[in-house]
Structure formats: structure tokens, C-alpha cells
Amino acid sequence: MAAKRFLIFLLSLPYLFMAVVVFKFRVKSVIDDYNKCIGYIRRSSKNERAISLSLINTLRLAEDHRQLLHRGVDPIAILRTIYLRLFKGIHQGASTIDQQFVRTITERYEKTVRRKIREQILAILIRKTSTADDICRAYMSCCYFGYGTYGIAKLIKTHSNIREFDIAARVKYPFRKSLDELTEAKFNRRALYLSYLSKVNPNRESIFLRK
């Protein structure tokens, strides 16, 4: 594990350097978005304590299983994505939970390299001052889970008995306004897979939200 963490650190050095430079020169638009993200994390860390560590771990299994090893950007996932795109013709994302949170708060969704690099820099910056758990809590408190449903509080209000692996699966496959059988089939397969992963992990807590 230590060797893997060190490898990820080495591969992350270019991103870490960019983040230091941007922060040092106080690039206004980046600093403004950084403050917006940090402010949201601090508020949600107080308001979302009901989110259990087991739910956070389930989210990591689904979206970013190396979150505790990287510093906001996962270079291994980036290299995998580049390989799959160049040699297999497969388009796959490499965004970490930290990046997904930044994208949601800043509402920047344009498909450009500039936006992606900016998002990566912000993810690194917020990890320097926030814990991975608090970022997960913040992300779940604003995440889009489906039509008209932003944030876990709204999701649980409308689906009171929803299981944790279903919550995590909805991040990738949010429900539509009208029933979409293809989306629901993908959601069910993902939820079933996450359920299997949660059962084979002996160190997990109860898989239900703490009251």
C-alpha cells in the first residue's frame, strides 16, 4: 500500500506543481471557486454528520476506490483512460470524487481541456484543507441523484428505505423523469455489484444510514 501511495504521489507531481503555482499567484477565478467549495464543505461537514462512514466507503467503492491514496487527482485512472481511448476506442472517465464535487459546486460542465485542468487543480487545493470524508459528505449533500433530486436529504425524503449501495449506484445512473428501462437495468446491475463488494469486505460497518 505504501509503495502504491508513493507511485501515485510521483505521478501526481505535475498536477501538484500546477496547483501550487496557481494558488501562489492567486488566480482570481480559481481562488473564488476554491472559496466557494471550501465554504460548502465546512457547512455540510456540520449538517451532514448523519451520513455514515459505511455510506462514504460505499461511495468510494463505486466512484473512487483510490481516494484515500491520491491527493484529489488519480493519475492511475487518467493513464488507464488514455490507454483505453487510444488503443481500445473506449471512452471512460477518470474524475475523482473530489473533482466531481468541484464540478457540481462550480457548475462548470464544458468539455474542454482547460476546464478539466482547472477542475483538477481545485480538487488538489480543497484536499489540502479538507478531509476525504468531509468532501464525500459535501458531494452527497449536493449530488444529482435524478429528476428534481439534488442531495441525499432530498433522496432519502422521497425514498426512505433506500439502501446504501442503491444510493451510490444512483450517482452514476440517476433516475429519469419518466421510467427509462435501459438506465434502470444499468442501475440495478451496478447496485447488485456494489452490494456484492460490500458483503465481501469484512471491515465494513452496517450498510444503513445512521439515524
Residue 13 confidence class, pLDDT cut points 50, 70, 90: very high
How confident is residue 210, by pLDDT bands cut at 50, 70 and 90?
very low
* Cβ count near 188 (within 10 Å): 13
Q: Is 206 within the bounds of a domain?
A: no
In sequence order, which residues have a C-beta less than 8 Å from that of residue 21 and are 6 or more positions away?
none
Q: Which residue is listed with cell 469484512?
A: 202
Counting the structural domains of the chain, the total is 1
Q: Please give the pLDDT value at position 49.
A: 61
Task: Write out the residue range of the structural domain in which residue 90 sits.
Answer: 2-200
Q: How far apart are CA 117 and CA 123, in angstroms?
A: 10
Domain containing 127 — which CATH number?
1.10.3810.10
| Per-residue model confidence as pLDDT tens digits over 166-207 | 999 999 999 998 888 999 999 999 999 999 887 766 454 433
pLDDT at 204: 45
- Are 77 and 96 in contact, with CB atoms under 8 Å apart? yes
What distances in angstroms separate CA 27 from CA 32, 67, 110, 129, one per listed residue? Answer: 9, 26, 20, 18
Query: In percent, how much of the chain has pLDDT > 70?
Result: 92
